[in-house]
Structure 1
Amino acid sequence: MNELLSKLIADWQLLHSIELVATVLAIAYVLLALKQSIWCWPAALLSTLLFTHVMWDSALLSDALLHLYYAGMALYGWWRWQQLKQQPGQAHTVFEWAWQRHLLLISLTAMGGLALGYLMANYTRADFAYLDAQTTAFSLVATWLVAKKLLSNWLYWVVIDAVSIFIYAQKHLYFLTGLFMLYTIIAVVGYFAWRSHYQLQLTLHSKTL
């Protein structure tokens, strides 16, 4: 009995140690992305792989699959930013789309979120089924926008993180609530940092014409 109890305690400590390391790496990813450092992607990859292990071990299989997607996007983001780095003057280039394209993307993503929410509401015991489905759908899209180095990705994350704060607070998950409050602040800072860089790009481009 004592051996079993010791093993359970050791397993619990290991799982939460992995969770802590994954969280630190996730914060490092966001901060490095803010600085447009390509090293944000290795941090993201390690974080998502560790979170995949935590979610799988906790029987949160949908979250585990979501983090596997994030791992794939980390590899894509590294490749995409590496391609830009190899092009003269493109290493720190920030891109942006017209508002019409964003409106189309938001509409399609929202419809996908509604479909997922319907499945969660009618076939599972999920809480906040529709709201949580929307944050999931938009998180998938926003991660892709980071890899594309699109300025507006930060605005997507501001909304996603703010909604996540509400969900986690309602579920009394105070550590995650605090973490996403930090994410929201970083997303706001990231938007203004990237926008300043984007505006400088436009100024330099206009001077060369």
Structure 2
Amino acid sequence: MFDEQFASAITGALAAMSWWELGAVALALAYLILAMRENSLCWYAAFISTSIYIFLFWDVSLLMESALQIFYLAMAVYGWWQWRKGSEEHELRIHCWSLRTHLLVFNAVGVLTLVFGYVLANNTHAELPYLDSFTTWGAVITTYMVTRKVLENWIYWIVIDGASVYLYIDRGLYLTALLFVFYVVLVVIGFFQWRAIFEREQVATS
């Protein structure tokens, strides 16, 4: 029964979706595939896709997600600069963070989620304020990890993208939700691709 309802919702969403959402989804997918290949063109796709999503998320009352896109714009520029600079100087390589750093990140995201979720719940018309805040702050730190080529970014994305699927289904952004289901599969592949590169580089420099 649920499968039939979901399929019906997807069909209806595809029929009613805007060309803006289609373009944003296509570019977001291009970003991830290019990032998996360490191709700096991924940041161009990210910049344009993000610009579109600012308005799409605002329109469905996902205020934190909309605000997150503004951050993404800045990070697309920063990421492009870091990757190009690292490529030229051969300094920016895939690397890992320490357990202590990850624990600090978990605590920070947890606190920010509670604080901003509470503020949104009591002062705005935001929907799913705590989940919205979690995916937003989780994405903030994880996007930074991508710009610095931290290997574990892919593991973070599995959790964030999985939570985002429910968020977007609830707000009727079915095509975007479908994109994030695909994202979960791709980030697993991305992790193993980056880990293979990381291990080769470790052997080469040892």
Q: Deviations over 1:24-58 (max 9, x none)?
A: 01100000000100110011111112222444566
TM-score, normalised on structure 2? Answer: 0.83
Equivalent AA in structure 1 for residue 109 of structure 2: T
- Structure-2 change in CA distance of 1:109 and 1:151 (3 Å): same
Return the alpha-carbon distance in structure 1 between the equivalents of residues 189 and 102 of structure 2: 21
Return the alpha-carbon distance in structure 2 between the equivalents of residues 167 and 53 of structure 1: 16
Return the alpha-carbon distance in structure 1 between the equivalents of residues 180 and 55 of structure 2: 21
Q: Partner residue of 1:10?
A: none
3-state secondary structure, aligned to 2:18 = helix
Q: Partner residue of 1:82?
A: 84
Q: Partner residue of 2:50?
A: 48
Q: Partner residue of 1:4?
A: none
Q: Partner residue of 2:5?
A: none
Structure 1 residue 72: Cα displacement: 0.5
Larger Rg belongs to: 1
Q: How does 1:113-132 map to 2 (within 5 A)?
A: 113-132=113-132
Q: Partner residue of 2:150?
A: 150
- Do residues 101 (structure 1) and 101 (structure 2) align? yes
Equivalent AA in structure 1 for residue 122 of structure 2: N
Equivalent AA in structure 1 for residue 189 of structure 2: V
3-state secondary structure, aligned to 2:149 = coil
Ranges in structure 1 where 5+ consecutive residues have no aligned partner = 1-12
Task: Give percent identity, aligned residues only.
Answer: 36
- Aligned match for 2:31, one of 29, 32, 42: 29
- Structure-2 change in CA distance of 1:132 and 1:58 (3 Å): closer
Number of residue pairs matched by the alignment? 191
Equivalent AA in structure 2 for residue 28 of structure 1: A
Q: Which segments of structure 1 move beyond 4 Å, counting only runs of 4 or more?
A: 55-62, 170-173
Q: Partner residue of 1:183?
A: 183
Return the alpha-carbon distance in structure 2 between the equivalents of residues 61 and 117 of structure 1: 11
Ranges in structure 2 where 5+ consecutive residues have no aligned partner = 1-14
